[in-house]
Amino acid sequence: MALEVDEKNLKQGLLGLVVALVEIIQDLVERQAIRRIEGGRLDEDEIERLGKALIDLDEAIEKIKQDNDLEDVVNSVIVSLDDVAEDLLNKFLNPESWAEEVDET
């Protein structure tokens, strides 16, 4: 499984790759933020600040994506990263498939 960066449009491809990674981190941070908020240890002010900061981040990333026409590139990078992750997880969960793959080659 390889990540493909379109050579004809290097800038868009590379920027798309970076934005995709940023988006994955953002997604992860957002989920953890929700966990912290639901955990009940933060006060209202902290929750509000956290929410605002995440909204600002989201808007900024959306804007970068729009300005550079990156939606498709970013989506395809995320899909291929998900493929890699799914593949790896499958191999750990059922090692037989790994053996089959080795036999095939």
Partner 1 sequence: MKPERDYGLVDILDRLLNKGVILNADLIITVAGVPLIGLSLKAALASIETMLDYGMLEAWDRETRNWYKNQLMERRPSLAEDEVILYKTFGYIWYNEGLISSWRPGFWYVTNERIFLWRREPDEDLFETYLDRIASVKTGTEIEFGKDREELNLEVDGWIARIRSSDVLAFEDAIRKALFNPRYQTEPEL
The footprint of partner 1 (CB under 8 A) covers 24, 27-28, 31-32, 35-36, 39, 41-42, 45-46, 52, 56, 62, 66, 75, 78-79, 81-82, 84-86, 89
Quick one: 5 or 42, whose CB is closer to partner 1? 42
For the chain, give me the number of helices (H) and strands (E)?
4, 0
Q: Tell me the closest approach of the beta carbon of residue 2 to partner 1, in angstroms.
A: 16
Q: Tell me the closest approach of the beta carbon of residue 77 to partner 1, in angstroms.
A: 11
Q: Tell me the closest approach of the beta carbon of residue 105 to partner 1, in angstroms.
A: 25
Backbone angle region of 40, left / alpha / beta, with phi > 0 → left and psi within -120 to 50 → alpha: left
Q: What does the alpha-carbon distance between residue 28 and residue 36 come to, in Å, rounded to a whole number?
A: 12
And the tokens for 74? 């970013």
